[in-house]
Amino acid sequence: MTPRVTVHHIGVEDEPVAVIEDFVPDPAGVRAAAMTAAFDTAGAHYPGIRAAVPPDYLPAIRPVLGKVFREVFGVTEAVSVIDIRLSIVTAAPDSLALEQRLPHVDALEPGRLALVHFLGAGDEDGTAFYRHRTTGFETIDRSRSAVYFAALNADLHRHGPPPPRYLAGDTPIYERIGQFAGCRNRALVYRGRLLHCGQITPDRVLSTDPGQGRLTVTGFFAAR
């Protein structure tokens, strides 16, 4: 099984998103490892549970990931792993904090890259990318953050907070500019500064069982 890479450029800012099919040679093995992994509640930002990836996961993805980092994102120096873990979305929509109902960025610093690898049973739940309507921003870095958050606060005051559910499409504050289905063994790689969120089917049952739930690997990397 050979990974196949397609690059999409999204939005006015023309940011690349690398879509990698057949990302790992043995996705069933990763799923089997998840069945016995020790999942625990994630931090304040991720709406679910996370666990360590199996020890052979990183060696398996390094060749294709390194190629994508170089050829798509122009990385020429060493890349360090900030965090990479098995992840399952489990939080009920009515329990979501405000920031979990809005698109977010993974990092404001330059050189940050993000990975999501889909390992679930279907292809209905993927990742979506957004433009903030008031500012027109599709990416947020340190130079934009103050303007963006001030405008977002004003938007929330004007329109009110979003309803207690996962974001799924356009809103008065955000416009969806791209989405990618979570096909099994598909991975997405994108810059951490892109506004995005998980695309969660509104009526989906969010199971904690790795065999039934929205199982992914999420990874964050820093290019020096």
pLDDT for the residue 177: 98
What digits encode the pLDDT tens for the residues 187-210? 999 999 999 999 998 888 899 999
pLDDT digits over 67-103, tens only? 999 999 999 888 999 999 999 999 999 999 999 999 9
| φ/ψ of residue 63, rounded to 5 | -60, -50
In this structure, the number of other CB atoms found within 10 A of the CB of residue 29 comes to 14
Q: Which two tokens stand for residue 114?
A: 């993000």
> Rounded to whole angstroms, how far apart are CA atoms 142 and 170?
25
Measured CA to CA, the distance from residue 91 to residue 48 in angstroms comes to 6
Predicted pLDDT at 219: 98
- Residue 57, pLDDT above cutoff 90: yes
pLDDT in tens, 96-130: 999 999 999 999 999 999 999 999 877 668 999 99
Whether residue 132 contacts residue 183, with contact meaning beta carbons closer than 8 Å, is answered with no
pLDDT digits (tens, 9 = 90+) for 134-160: 999 999 999 999 999 999 999 999 999
Q: What does the domain layout of the chain look like in residue ranges?
A: 4-223
pLDDT(185) > 70: yes
* Total-model pTM: 0.96
Task: Answer yes or no: CATH 2.60.120 is held by domain 4-223.
Answer: yes
> What does the angle CA 39 – CA 44 – CA 49 come to, to the nearest 5 degrees?
15
Residue 205 pLDDT? 83
Is a pLDDT exceeding 90 seen at residue 40? yes
Q: Give pLDDT, residue 123.
A: 65
Q: How confident is the model at residue 42 (pLDDT cuts 50, 70, 90)?
A: confident
Q: Could you tell me the two tokens for 158?
A: 């004007």
